[in-house]
Amino acid sequence: MPRSLLVPLAALLCLATLLSAGLSPAAGEGASVPGLSRAETLRLGERIYRDGILSSGEPLTAVVQGDIPVEGTMFSCVSCHLRSGLGSFEGDILTPPTNGDILYQPWDSHIETARLRRGTMEGTSKQRKRTLFYLTRIGEFPSRPAYTDGTLADAIREGADPEGRDFIGVMPRYPFGDREMAILIEYLKSLSKDPSPGVTDTTIRFATVVSGEVSRKERDELLVPLDRYVRIYNGHLRRKTRKSTGARAEEVVRLLPADSEPRLVSLVVWELQGSPETWRGQLEEYYRKEPVFALLSGITTKEWRPVHEFCEENAIPSLLPITDLPVVSETGWYTLYFSKGYYQEGETAARHLARTEAPVSGGPVVQVYPDTPEGNAFASGFRDAWNEGGRAPLLEKALPAGTQATREILEEATGKGRRSVLVLWTGAEAIPALNAMTGGDGGVSTIYMSATLLKEGLLAVPEALRDKTYITYPYGLTDTGPGMMYAKKKVTPQITDRRVPGKAAAIYPVLTEIFSWLESNYFRDYMFDIVDASMLVVASPFERITFGPGQRYASKGCYIVQLSKGERPELVRKSGWVVH
Amino acid sequence: MTVRKGLLFLFAIAIAGMIAFEGVAAARDPGYKRSVVRYDVPDVVLVNQDGAKLRLRALIESGKPVVLDFIYGTCTTICPVLSAGYTSVQAKIGPDTRKVQLISISIDPEHDTPKVMKGYLKQYRAKPGWDFLTGSREDIDRVMQAFDSYVTDKMYHRQVTFIRAQGPGEWVRIDGLLGSAELMSEIGKTSKK
C-alpha cells in the first residue's frame, strides 16, 4: 500500500499530510470485514501488504509516476513502509509510517518540533549536532488531524491527502475495491500496535543460546563480553546520564535519544543440552517461562536449525549467532547470520572454479566429502553453485562418517589419470593420501580444500601440491582484534579457531544502533527494519559485513588463497572477497 | 510516542542522506532535471544475470539506444520505480525488446549475485535486452564514479537514469524519476538526433 516518496521537505509535507485528516476513532478497534474472521482479515491484509497478493489470490495492480503500471509481484507496501510499517529512507526519499497508531492520531508540529529542539540540548555532542541539523535542514512538519477510514482509503486510491495535496509519484495509486481496502486498513490498524513479548515497563529481555558441547573457552569468549556490555549499558541508564565516561561507554550509549524511554536490558543464557533433536522442547520451555524480545548472539558447534525454526515460528529475532552450520534459506526472516558458514565456502569454490580462475584441464569435477552435517554443508554449497550455470555434471563421493579419505578412495573417485578437479572437504588427515596420489601420476590437476577444515594443517600442505591447491578462506586477510569496534587492526591471520571474540564483539555496534533508534517502539519487526537500513561499518573477523533490506547473511564473501613456497608459507590471495 | 520514534529514525536517516548529497534542496522539485553530460566509461568486465561476463563499453557502444541506471536487488524504494519504468519501456517498444539496451548496474555487488539478479529481473518480467550487471566492488565503484553517481553506501542511493546520446561519450542524465511516457520521449529524443 502507501508508498510515499519524497524529497526531504516534500517528504515531510507528505508525511504530515498523510498523518493528517478527519475525524477518526482510535486505531485497531475497527469492525472486521464482513464474512471474514478477524484472524482471516489480518492474514489476508498481511498478504496484501507483504506479498502484493489480493484476497482473490491475484497480484494487486497499481500505477506509479503517473503512468507506469506495476503489479504486486514487483513490489508491495512492505517494500517501502517495511514490515513494521514505521517507514523507511533511501537516498533522499522518506517513506512515512503507515501503521494505524500513527495514521489515526493527529499530528501537532509545534509539540513535536519543540520536543526535537529540546533534544538538541541533551545527549552527546554528536547527537545534538545531528538533531540540530535535522531541524535546520528539514524544517517542521505541518500539523494535521487524524486520518479516518474514509480519508485513508482516498489517500490509498487517489494519492492525495485529505487537504487535497498530492503525494509524489512514487507512492502507487491502488484501485482497490471496498473489500480489499477494508482488509488492508484493518491490517494497518494492527501493524506495530502492541509491543512484542519480552518487554516490561522497566526491562527489555534478551537471551543468548549456548549449546552444551561448546568449550569453556569459547563459551567465556562469548558470554563475558556480552555480560560486560549489558552491565555498562544498564549502568548508564541507571545514572540517567548520556555523558560518556570513556571510549567503550561512548560506544554503548552513543546517540541515545534524549527523550527515549529506555528499558534496562536483561540477558539470560539459554543452555541447550543433549542432541539437537531435543533442543526445540528446551527452547519452548525457556520461552514459556520467560519470553524474550530477541536472541543475541549465541553459539554452537552443531546445526543452528532447531533455534532457527523456533525463531521463525515465534517471530523472534536472532542476531548474529556463532555457527558454521546456519540454515541457508532465501525466505527465512528472523535470524541474521554472519554468513552461510561452510555452505558459503563451498559456493565460493564452485564459483571460483566456474570462473576458470583455476587451471582446468577438461577432466571431471569430483567432490569428496564426509557424510556429516559439516561435509554436507560444504558439498551442498558447492553443488548448488556449480549447478546454477548448467555446467558439466558433478561427480560426488560421500564418505560414511568416520571414514578417512585414503589414496585408494581418492583415486577411485577421481578416475586415475583423468586430469580431474578434486574438491575435497576433509581435514588435513587426507593430505598424505592426496600427496601420494597426486605425486604418483599427476592425475589431479586442481584441488580445492577449506581452511576451516584444515585448521593448523593448512600450513602442512606439501610444497608439491601448493600450486594446484586452492583453499577457501572465509575471513579477512587482516584480522580484527576483539576489542576493536570500528578500526581494523592488522594482525597475523589466525587459522585455527572460530574467531569467537571477534564475532562476539561485532554485536556491540549492532545493538547500539538498535538501541539508538528503537526508543519505545518495542516491535521486533522494527528492530529488524533498523538493522536492515543500517549503514554500520562493523569490524569483525570477516573482510566485510554489510546489512541490507531482507539480507540475512552479513558476510557475503570468502577468499580463495594458496600457500606460498618455502618452509614458512604465507597465504596468497587468489580471488576477490566476493567471487561471482 | 510511536509517532515520535518512527519519525526520529526517519529524521536521522534522512539527515545522513542529506549529508551525502548536496542536491537535496533541488530535489524538492517534484519533476526531474535533465542535463547533457560527457562521461568516460571505464573498460570493466562485469557479470550479468546469466553469469556471463560482459564488457561494459561494448554493451554501451552497441549502436542501439542505451538506458542505464544503478539499482540493487533488495532496494526498498527507488529501484522498484526505476525498474517498473524499464518494464514499461519494454512493453512499449514492441516484440523486439533487444532494440533498446537497458542496463541496470548493481550498487550492492556483494549481495547481488547472478542468481539474485535473475530473480529480480523475473519479478519485473524483464525480457531480452535488459541486463543487470554486478562485479567486483572496485569495478562497480569505478563505474559509479564515471557516471558521477558514487555513493559510499547503497542507502544513499540516488534516482538517476542515463540515456546514451549521439556524441562521443555523451549522455542525457535524468535526475529524478520519470513516468513511462516521459522516459519513452527521452529515449526517442536521443535516437533521433
C-alpha pair distances (Å), A117 with each of A127, A339, B40, B122: 12, 41, 46, 47
- The pLDDT value given to residue A261: 64
Is the pLDDT at B191 greater than 80? The verdict is no
Each residue's pLDDT tens digit, B52-75: 999 999 999 988 999 999 999 999
- The pLDDT value given to residue A311: 98
What's the rounded Cα separation, in Å, for the pair A102 and B2? 7
Residue with cell 544513499: B156
What's the rounded Cα separation, in Å, for the pair A364 and A148? 67
Q: At what angle do helices B2-20 and A500-518 cross, to 10 degrees?
A: 110
Pick from A377, A342, A328, A311: which is nearest to A528 by CA? A311
Test B28 with A90 for CB contact under 8 angstroms. no
Within the 109-128 window of chain A, which residues sit less than 8 Å (CB to CB) from chain B? 112, 115-116
- The pLDDT value given to residue A95: 79
Test B81 with A87 for CB contact under 8 angstroms. no
Test B84 with A388 for CB contact under 8 angstroms. no
The H or E element spanning position A210 is strand A203-211
Q: Which of A95, A97, A134 sits opposite B15 (nearest CB)?
A: A134
C-alpha pair distances (Å), A284 with each of A195, A266, A281, A325, B117: 20, 19, 5, 21, 38
Q: Judge whether A451 and A559 are in contact, CB under 8 Å.
A: no
Q: Which of B5, B76, B83 sits opposite A549 (nearest CB)?
A: B76
C-alpha pair distances (Å), B133 with each of A487, A488, B141: 31, 30, 13
Show pLDDT as tens, one digit a residue, over chain A (580 residues): 333 322 233 333 333 333 333 333 344 444 578 899 999 999 999 999 999 999 999 999 999 999 999 999 998 999 999 999 988 877 767 777 899 998 898 876 666 666 556 554 444 444 444 454 444 434 344 667 899 999 999 999 999 888 877 888 899 999 999 999 999 999 999 999 999 999 998 899 999 999 999 999 999 999 999 999 999 989 988 875 444 444 444 444 443 444 456 789 999 999 999 999 999 999 999 999 999 999 999 999 999 999 999 999 999 999 999 999 999 999 999 999 999 999 999 999 999 999 875 556 678 899 999 999 999 999 999 999 999 877 888 999 999 999 999 989 998 888 866 678 999 999 999 999 888 876 554 578 899 999 999 998 888 888 889 999 999 999 998 654 443 333 444 444 556 678 999 999 999 999 988 887 787 789 999 999 999 988 888 888 999 999 999 999 999 999 999 999 988 888 899 999 999 8
Test B156 with A130 for CB contact under 8 angstroms. no
- The pLDDT value given to residue A167: 85
Within the 25-84 window of chain B, which residues sit less than 8 Å (CB to CB) from chain A? 27-30, 47, 51, 72, 74-78, 80-81, 83-84
Q: Which of A89, A141, A168 sits opposite B17 (nearest CB)?
A: A89
3-state SS string for A538-575: CCCCCCCCCCCCCCCECCCCCEEEEECCCCCCCEEECC
C-alpha pair distances (Å), A7 with each of A117, A119, A132, A311, B157: 22, 24, 19, 37, 13
The H or E element spanning position A46 is helix A38-46
Tally of CA atoms within 13 A in the half-sphere of A508 that contains its CB: 31
Q: What is the DSSP string of A60-98?
A: PEEEETTTEEEETTT--HHHHHTTTSS-EEETTEEE---
Q: Identify the burial level of A86 via C-beta atoms within 10 angstroms of its C-beta, where 0-12 means exposed, 13-18 middle and 19 or more buried.
A: buried
Q: Which of A90, A169, A520 sits opposite B1 (nearest CB)?
A: A520
Establish if A467 touches chain B: CB-CB under 8 angstroms: no
Banded model confidence at residue B172, pLDDT cuts 50, 70, 90: very high
What's the rounded Cα separation, in Å, for the pair B165 and B162? 9
Q: Contacts of residue B16 in chain A, CB cutoff 8 Å?
A: 535
Establish if A11 touches chain B: CB-CB under 8 angstroms: yes
- Kindly identify which residue of chain A lies nearest to residue B126, measuring between CA atoms: A74
